[in-house]
Structure 1
Amino acid sequence: MKNYLSLTTSKMLKGFKAIVFDMDGTLCLPQPWMFPAMRQAVGLTDPSRDILEYIGSLSPAQQRKALRAVEQVEHKAMVQMEPQPGLQQVLKWLTHARISKNVCTRNLRAPFDHLIASFVPAQYSQFDHILTREFCPTKPFAGPLLHIAKQLNLDPRSIVMVGDSLDDMLSGRSAGCRTVLIVNEHNRSLLQSHRDLVDCTVSDLSELAVLLARCTA
């Protein structure tokens, strides 16, 4: 799916000044087993209920137990992480173009640090803001992206949210940011069910690098 070659698509991102990346499935390849494993680990059987909201509804002792279970799953996923194709390419381009790099993830900080330390050269590894699930409310709410916009002193419309999930697209759209969906075999249905939330699509980060370069040419 090479929408980045479209002139219309390129125009949609013109004038962007900052990028906010999701992590799981965006900076690294999707691990589709991870989220079902988390839900199973905390005993959440309702597929419509958000796992963080569910954990927040538990007693303090139950919350601590549930979070430990989630962190065990996250650690296993961290060890198995593989970078999204084009990870170094897009971070190198953003660094040389002096475009602000940021992250908003519902994961913890440790997996992000592991990913960057393992696969990104130090000269391209600096991010302005890294928001994890400790920032409340997290995605799909607008709060994290509005916080980043305020810290960068930017209009949210000049920020691009790049992710692979409905939460990413909802957060981006509700904050007034532009959105790029990294399409894969697990999320392609979003283009039918929530096409209005997606401004552009790419297949991986190497395509994103080409798209962003075209938007600044």
Structure 2
Amino acid sequence: MRGACVAQAGPPSRPDSRTHPPMRRSMAMLRTLRPGPESKAVRGIVFDMDGTLTVPVLDFPKMRRVVGVPEGQDVLDFLAGLEPAERAQREAALHAVEEEGMAAMQVMPGVEELAKHLDERAVPRALVTRNLKRAVDLFHATHFDLPPFEPVLTREFLPYKPHPAALLHIAEHWGITPQELVMVGDSAKDDVVSGNRAGAWTILLDTEGTHRERGQGLEGDLRPHFYAASMQEVQQILTTELQLPSPRVA
């Protein structure tokens, strides 16, 4: 309009955090650039237990110390290479630390809500852990009120994570392809590597923001398809980024 005063645009002002709270991080920011399977259709979910279905309470540095594991070597691999008598002695020390973890066990917030979400869609859910079967039994008996995860594969199933054998076994058991699986866990070196090598989708549950917030990148088979800070975000990824079946009609 003639004679109108036009204000010159300046740099955008920074919003006041008191009146404009930070926006919730979108799922796009949680994704990595790792290419996934061709289809996003999901027909089964595999969960880790310690640090995933339960809050992280196992003292892994203490575990390595009392067992005497050399720097850079896997605990279970180290034990497997010992003579029977020495192995039994060191396994007893390992079990003592694991018993402390069982005594302090707590369910991860959001686990039952996610499990119910999957059950309503007839999506099977399995559990793969490097812990003992006794720990899984305790979790099901005292911390989980829904039907148990099934199948359950503990470290007695060989080869254990990060080998993909457990996930391949579960996919065959369910009659689906590994590409229709999602592996959810808090360990990049065990859960993510296992899932990626099986050809499944992988979600790294990073509740402390170790990799996502502090810029500690993961490459190769350590790199997940998605990061999640909580079980609620895991459910959001499964619902919005991947494709779960529709809920069953009652």
* TM-score for both structures, normalised by structure 2: 0.77
Deviation sequence 1:135-168 (CA, Å, 0-9, x none): 1110011111111111111100000000011211
Match in the other structure for 2:217: 192
Change (3 A) 1:98 1:191: farther
Partners of 1:110 and 1:146 in 2: how far apart?
24
Count of aligned pairs? 212
Q: Aligned-pair distance for 1:176?
A: 0.6
| Alignment-derived partner of residue 133 in structure 1 | 155
In the alignment, the residues of structure 2 paired with residue 179 and residue 91 of structure 1 have an alpha-carbon distance, to the nearest angstrom, of 17
Greater Rg by CA = 2
1:146-161 equivalent positions in 2, closer than 5 A: 146-161=168-183
1:53 has 2:77 as partner: yes
How many Å apart are 1:19 and its aligned residue?
A: 0.4
- Kept in 1, the 8 Å contact 2:132–2:154? The answer is yes
Partner SS for 2:46: strand
The reply to whether residue 112 of structure 1 matches residue 124 of structure 2 is: no
Please report how far the alpha carbon of residue 199 of structure 1 lies from its aligned counterpart in structure 2 after TM superposition.
Answer: 0.6
Aligned pairs for 1:75-114 within 5 A: 75-114=99-138
1:39 aligns with 2:64: yes
Aligned-partner residue type, residue 59 of structure 1: E
Q: State the TM-score, normalizing by the size of structure 1.
A: 0.88
Contact 2:182 2:200 in 1 (8 A): yes
Task: Answer whether contact 2:162 2:191 (CA < 8 A) is retained.
Answer: yes
Q: CA RMSD in A?
A: 2.5
Decide whether the 8 Å contact of 2:67 with 2:93 is kept in 1.
yes
Q: 1:204 aligns with which of 226, 230, 243?
A: 230
AA matched with 1:169: V
Q: 1:183 aligns with which of 186, 201, 206?
A: 206
Match of 2:193 in 1: 170
Q: Deviations over 1:52-71 (max 9, x none)?
A: 11001110111111222111
CA contact (8 A) 1:165 1:187 kept: no
SS of the residue corresponding to residue 120 of structure 2 reads: helix
Question: What is the identity, as a one-letter code, of the residue corresponding to 1:119?
Answer: H
Unaligned runs of 5+ in 2: 1-23
Aligned partners of 2:147, 2:28: CA distance in 1, in Å?
28
From 143, 167, 178, the counterpart of 1:145: 167
**Pairwise CA distance, 1:211:** 2.5
Percent of counterpart pairs with the same letter?
A: 34
